[in-house]
Chain A
Amino acid sequence: MEDIEHLFRRESGRLVSILSRIFGMRDLALAEDVVQEAFCRALEVWSFRGVPENPSAWLMATAKNKAFDILRRRQTALSFESELAYKIDTESSLAPTIEQFFEPKAIQDDVLRMMFSCCDPGLKEEAQVALILHILCGFSVSEISEAFVSPHSTIEKRITRSKKVLAACEKLFNITSPQETSLRLRAVHRALYLLFNEGYHGSSQEAAIRADLCREAMRLTSILLTHPQGRTPTTYALAALMSLNSARLPGRVDGSGNLQSISKQDRTKWDRTLISDGMSLLEQSAAGTALSEYHIEAAIASIHVRATDTDQTDWKTIVTLYDRLLALRRSPIVGLNRAIAVAQLEGPERGIRELESIVDRDRLVGYPFYFAALAECELLRGCLGAARDRFRAAASLARNPMERSFFEQRLSECGIEDDAI
């Protein structure tokens, strides 16, 4: 039997995508209702009878029948896709037309179409990510607000508003048009990247939720790689950076669920399969002349996974790569990561100077890991008092108990305060 761990969630995205093609984006709510009903049926029938041999097929058949009933009852032809309106003009042609919608090849395209639809230029990046999670990954509003540690009402408003933007689209996104897809591909990459990052660096303390977000981002990226227009060197680079970074996820927390800094991580826990997948994706990303920010991030990740420990890490190349990344993406977070690499390469004094001269440093004043980086440098150069102050600042900014206990642990490793004796 296929993997059914998150079957309902996954099928939800596929089914809504298929049905949105039948009912149009204007009737997305109807598509969602049909899927919800199919799940309610499954819940009842499977509870009594056990999960069928092929649960996906069961859900699909149930959703298909409901869609069929709705279309048969409808008097008006559908206008959003002229081809479909023509085909279902007569009832006898309705059934074979609906069948076509549920063919495996069509489904793959529907999921991709929905991915591009969610990245509508009329929507902010955060809204695009929320929509992808909601529609394609089957997360409820509560689950998204939990993952993003945002108020339920904020996420609810964001999703409701975004759906209205999608509903205003007269036509479905044309996945077969190279022009349309290439125009929007950048936004799709960005949304998938943000989704992955929310899992990797996110604020939720639930490791399971964060791993879910990483997995979903990787799943959607691999679907993008199946499409001729989606299979670009940049998509390969994005997939590579996701694989190489998530390979390190199992080492980021120790046996008791506490965060571990990279120098202390048990590198034997890193996922070898993901590392080799990531390396071959990175190779494929090198075809062509494109050099995206994802290429650089993947290259940085590949250096980390190749090294046996932090002393053996090629920090010189990492600093160079961060310089290039900064040229493409002027972000204080990139500046922070670069400064940490400089500290590894040239020592803590230099590291502190770099940390204090990050462009747009004021945007990091609420970010705990900025103060933690300063603290690590102070600790390295033996200024224990300053290190303690910085770790305390980091702890006070921690976004969840897991981060707080990590900073407090580091604080306690700075020794006992002189004035406390």
Chain B
Amino acid sequence: MSEFAFLFRGRDTTASPEQMQRTMEKWTVWFKQIEGQGRLREPGHPLEHAGRVIKGRERIVTDGPFAEAKDVIGGYIVIEAKDLDHAAELAQGCPIFDVGGSVEVRPIERI
């Protein structure tokens, strides 16, 4: 068994209240499912969208991340899976795809 980080990207800011509620309910179901299989290692955190980016030798500080809505990382969790294929399979049910978002699956290297 190995650990994997799921990085969630993208959100729909134009959805109606009803749609947002439906989306939220789908997330709850999906989380419960992952948890019920005993796969959730760290429940992770949602990330706020405002932040700062510090860049380069000059350490220039800008408000950010200012990426397109679809590229902003909205949160992360850590799950447990047999291998990368299995982890990617677990990500299939994530409701983020309904709003055009993506899940980045990254093996965690434990030293």
Is residue B100 contacting chain A, with contact meaning CB distance below 8 A?
no
Query: When the two chains form the complex, which single residue of B18, B23, B28, B74 contacts A9, counting CB atoms closer than 8 Å?
Result: B18
The interface residues of chain A lying within 8 Å CB-to-CB of B43 are 48-49
Q: A47-B27, A51-B28 are in contact. Are A40 and B44 (CB under 8 A)?
A: no
C-alpha gap A8/B25 in the complex (Å)? 12
Q: A40-B11, A40-B13, A44-B11 are in contact. Are A9 and B46 (CB under 8 A)?
A: no
The interface residues of chain B lying within 8 Å CB-to-CB of A9 are 16-18, 21
Contact in complex: B44, A143 (CB < 8 Å): no
Query: When the two chains form the complex, which single residue of B13, B21, B31, B44 contacts A8, counting CB atoms closer than 8 Å?
Result: B21
Of chain A, the residue at the smallest CB distance from B24 is A43
Contact in complex: B28, A44 (CB < 8 Å): no
Is residue A102 contacting chain B, with contact meaning CB distance below 8 A?
no
The interface residues of chain B lying within 8 Å CB-to-CB of A50 are 28
Q: Which of B5-22 contact A (CB under 8 A)?
A: 11, 13, 16-21
Contact in complex: B21, A44 (CB < 8 Å): no
- With an 8 Å Cβ cutoff, the count of chain B residues facing the other chain is 20
User: Shortest beta-carbon distance, B84 to chain A, in Å?
Assistant: 23
Instruction: Give the number of residue pairs across the A-B interface with Cβ within 8 Å.
Output: 68
Is residue A42 contacting chain B, with contact meaning CB distance below 8 A?
yes
Is residue A7 contacting chain B, with contact meaning CB distance below 8 A?
yes
B72-108 near A? 1/0 per residue, CB < 8 Å: 0011010000000000000000000000000000000
**Which residues of A are interface residues toward B (Cβ below 8 A)?**
4, 6-9, 11-12, 36, 39-40, 42-51, 138-140, 142-143
Q: Which of B46-62 contact A (CB under 8 A)?
A: 46
C-alpha gap A329/B74 in the complex (Å)? 56
Contact in complex: B24, A42 (CB < 8 Å): yes
Query: When the two chains form the complex, which single residue of B13, B16, B75 contacts A48, counting CB atoms closer than 8 Å?
Result: B75
C-alpha gap A45/B8 in the complex (Å)? 13
**Which residues of B are interface residues toward A (Cβ below 8 A)?**
11, 13, 16-21, 23-24, 27-28, 31, 43-46, 74-75, 77
Contact in complex: A6, B28 (CB < 8 Å): no
The residue among B17, B24, B77 with the most chain A CB atoms within 10 A of its own CB is B17
C-alpha gap A199/B21 in the complex (Å)? 22
Contact in complex: A8, B20 (CB < 8 Å): yes
Of chain A, the residue at the smallest CB distance from B21 is A8
Contact in complex: B17, A8 (CB < 8 Å): yes
Contact in complex: B16, A138 (CB < 8 Å): yes
C-alpha gap A4/B21 in the complex (Å)? 9
User: Shortest beta-carbon distance, A198 to chain B, in Å?
Assistant: 17
Of chain B, the residue at the smallest CB distance from A39 is B20
Contact in complex: A12, B17 (CB < 8 Å): yes
